[in-house]
């Protein structure tokens, strides 16, 4: 009989690629993870992982078991959801991880909505970028992630996750008031090819959006200054340190003294925001109202 908790461990090892990283995500010791993997190999009668200089990878037998693992764990999530519905689980805490502007845009309004529509549900909110929040969902550290599509992100049909689209928003060009293009109505990205750039660090999903937009315009941005805080990005632009692309919602309420904000000429770079939960959990009586409240907030 294969134990479900060992399947969780197998998936964590597959996701994180090292026993140490999987152990940290699951709040276990590396030796405990290794012991559980050994027990799982004994239960299945197959070698499931191979250790190498670059970490751990699944064997062909491990890949077969992982494909079933995703289905089994999703079904267990559905079972928990039905049991919670049966016991009228109308009260409890749901943990949501979201990037900062996502918190302002949809999570905080969802908190207010739930206070009226589902007062028994309490949201616990954590600030986390999309590339961090999705692994947090898979590792059961949080229940819901509000994340941004980015290169390398789990696709919408990932068997481990259920995606709920929330909203899409364009990036606007932010340039110093003294910039040569400050008086233009729309700024072609190609005209910024020789400028110094300010942007998020690699790994931040917005970094991918900026770099991909510049690549599509025919150049690699010369990123001289890096910050994941868009207030800092705008402040640097106002100091004539460079140009930037910033999501439109991040500019709301910000001090824009010293910069001008212009739409991008042509097809604007866009970030697409979605909520994600472990597949099968979307019908949980605590999580479903949260997803609905996030969707309603996004539609306002």
pLDDT greater than 90 at residue 156: no
Q: What angle do CA 7, 8, 9 make, to 5 degrees?
A: 90
User: Please, is 206 exposed, middle or buried when counting C-beta atoms within 10 Å of its C-beta (0-12, 13-18, 19+)?
Assistant: buried
The pLDDT assigned to 90 comes to 67
Model confidence band, residue 150 (pLDDT cutoffs 50, 70, 90): confident
Residue 58's contacts (CB-CB under 8 Å, 6 or more residues apart) are 10, 13, 14, 48, 49, 50, 66
Query: What whole-number distance in Å separates Cα of residue 64 and Cα of residue 52?
Result: 20
pLDDT band of residue 165 (cuts 50, 70, 90) is very high
Cβ 17 vs Cβ 55: under 8 Å: yes
| 90, 118 contact by CB (below 8 A) | yes
What lies within 8 Å, CB to CB, of 257 at 6+ separation is: 238
Question: In this predicted structure, what is the pLDDT of residue 124?
Answer: 95
Q: Tokens representing 209?
A: 């959006």
pLDDT at 30 over 90: no
CA distance 184 to 165: 33
Report pLDDT for 86.
Answer: 59
The tens digit of pLDDT for each residue in 90-125 reads: 678 899 999 988 999 999 999 999 999 888 888 999
Give the pLDDT band (50/70/90) at residue 85.
low
Q: H helices within 163-279, ranges in order? A: 205-216, 230-238
Distance CA 87, CA 288 (A): 15
pLDDT digit string, tens, across residues 56-78: 888 898 888 888 888 888 888 88
User: Which of 214 and 38 is assigned the larger pLDDT?
Assistant: 214
Which residue, chain included where needed, has tokens 């910069």? 259
Average of per-residue pLDDT across 178-201: 95
3-class DSSP state for residue 182? coil
Query: 24 by DSSP, 3-state: which?
Result: helix
- State the helix-helix crossing angle for 30-44 and 19-26, rounded to 10 degrees: 100
């Amino acid at each position: 009989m294969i134990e479900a908790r060992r399947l969780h461990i197998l998936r964590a090892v597959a996701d994180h690629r090292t026993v140490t990283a999987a152990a940290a995500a699951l709040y276990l010791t590396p030796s405990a993870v290794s012991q559980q993997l050994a027990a799982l190999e004994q239960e299945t009668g197959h070698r499931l992982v191979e250790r190498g200089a670059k970490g751990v990878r699944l064997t062909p037998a491990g890949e077969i078991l992982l494909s079933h693992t995703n289905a089994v764990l999703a079904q267990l999530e559905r079972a928990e959801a039905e049991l919670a519905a049966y016991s009228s689980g109308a009260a409890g805490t749901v943990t949501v991880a979201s990037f900062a502007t996502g918190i302002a845009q949809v999570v905080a309004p969802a908190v207010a909505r739930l206070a009226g529509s589902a007062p028994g549900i309490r949201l616990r909110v954590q600030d986390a970028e999309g590339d961090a929040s999705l692994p947090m969902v898979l590792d059961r550290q949080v229940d819901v992630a509000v994340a941004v599509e980015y290169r390398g992100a789990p696709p919408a049909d990932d068997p481990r996750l259920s995606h709920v689209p929330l909203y899409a928003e364009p990036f606007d060009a932010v340039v110093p008031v003294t910039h040569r293009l400050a008086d233009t109505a729309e700024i072609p990205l190609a005209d910024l090819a020789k400028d110094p750039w300010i942007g998020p660090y690699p790994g931040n999903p917005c970094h991918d959006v900026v770099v991909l937009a510049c690549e599509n315009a025919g150049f690699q941005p010369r990123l001289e200054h890096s910050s994941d805080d868009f207030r800092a990005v705008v402040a640097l632009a106002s100091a004539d340190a460079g140009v930037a692309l910033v999501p439109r919602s991040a500019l709301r309420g910000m001090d824009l003294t010293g910069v001008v904000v212009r739409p991008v000429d042509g097809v604007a770079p866009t970030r697409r925001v979605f909520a994600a939960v472990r597949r099968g959990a979307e019908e949980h009586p605590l999580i479903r109202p949260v997803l609905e409240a996030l969707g309603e907030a996004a539609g306002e």
